[in-house]
Amino acid sequence: MAEAAGAHVRHGVRSAAAGHGGSGPVSAPAEHVTVLLSEAVDALAIRPEGIYVDGTFGRGGHSRAVLARLGAHGRLVAFDRDPAAIAAGAAINDARFTLVHAPFSALDESLDAHGVGLVDGVLLDLGVSSPQLDEAARGMSFRFDAPLDMRMDTSRGQTVAQWLASAEVGEITEVIRDYGEERFAHAIAKAVVAARAGGAVSTTGQLAALVEKAVRTREPGQHPATRTFQALRIFINAELEELSVVLPKCLARLKPGGRLVVISFHSLEDRIVKRFMREHANPPPVPRGMAIREVDRPQPKLRLVGKAVKAGADEVATNPRARSAVMRVAERTEAA
């Protein structure tokens, strides 16, 4: 794969209609395609008067589709930490819709601030969107020579270039190895630190060239820098930490019968989601030696819904970036 972020990419919307104050359609931008659009919204099992959360607005593909199924008294709260996504969301003029500029890990405080308690469903579409990857200035792709930024929220935080300017070989090695599953991580880290003697590694082109020299072999069709760019982006945005923080918050906010739907694009993400859902779909452990009737056994808080869903051949053919998408669904039970 030639993309800087590997398959860890989600698209915006090609076309979808959304209710406009419950009375009319809102047209979506036409240049992007949302991965597993109908499958994800179907999995939410939308209740017309329900309250839903879209944790990753992007360009609004899933949000528009959810709004299209909500009734006049339904509500959708969407999150995104990308200022460009927030600006795009201004096109949705719908009283039922609230867009919050924050990472989804801020779920609790943001819902509280908007007077929202329990919700009927949460959708998390992980990874980066195509606009983030395709805009050279964001510095997420080696296809363009641009400032080495990679932040999802360009209004705050440290850029990759700033971090690489002072990180030690061991730190860089650990990030590239753990988040990129890159077996040449140490060689890449040494090359980066050595290159700093001649000036900062501040552009995507510089980094890609260093990685290309350090990586001796690579899978057919994959650029040598793919794993490194992916790893640095995941690290600088704390993507796996954000996911680990938000999942328990989602569980706590779901009403009985509410659905948690998560689309992952990377094995590390999917592993976190899979383990979380399985852990809470099993009954809590009973203290050792305690006799308890089966009817009195504590019940699990989640029920797994179906098997993992992947994009079909037709979707992958029209949108190759969908090929690594994995969707998992769980439903909140009545258990306290």
Per the annotation, binding residues are: 60-62, 80, 104, 125, 132
At 121, is the secondary structure helix, strand, or coil?
strand
CB atoms within 10 A of CB 317: 11
Residue list for the binding site for S-adenosyl-L-methionine = 60-62, 80, 104, 125, 132
Question: In which residue are the tokens 């996911």 written?
Answer: 243
CB 195 within 8 A of CB 201: yes
CA-based radius of gyration for the chain: 21
Whole-Å CA distances, 200 to 140, 193, 196, 268: 18, 9, 5, 30
Q: Are strands 9-10 and 128-129 parallel, antiparallel or unpaired?
A: parallel
Which amino acid is it at 109?
Answer: E
- Angle at Cα 195 formed by Cα 191 and Cα 197, nearest 5°? 135
Q: How far is CA 181 from the centre of its chain?
A: 18
Q: Are strands 51-54 and 75-80 parallel, antiparallel or unpaired?
A: parallel
CB 204 within 8 A of CB 145: yes
CB 19 within 8 A of CB 25: yes
CB 329 within 8 A of CB 42: no
CB 125 within 8 A of CB 35: yes
Q: What is the DSSP letter of 36?
A: T
Closest CA to 58 of 40, 73, 80, 77: 80
User: Rounded CA gap, 278 and 170, in Å?
Assistant: 34
User: Rounded CA gap, 285 and 41, in Å?
Assistant: 33
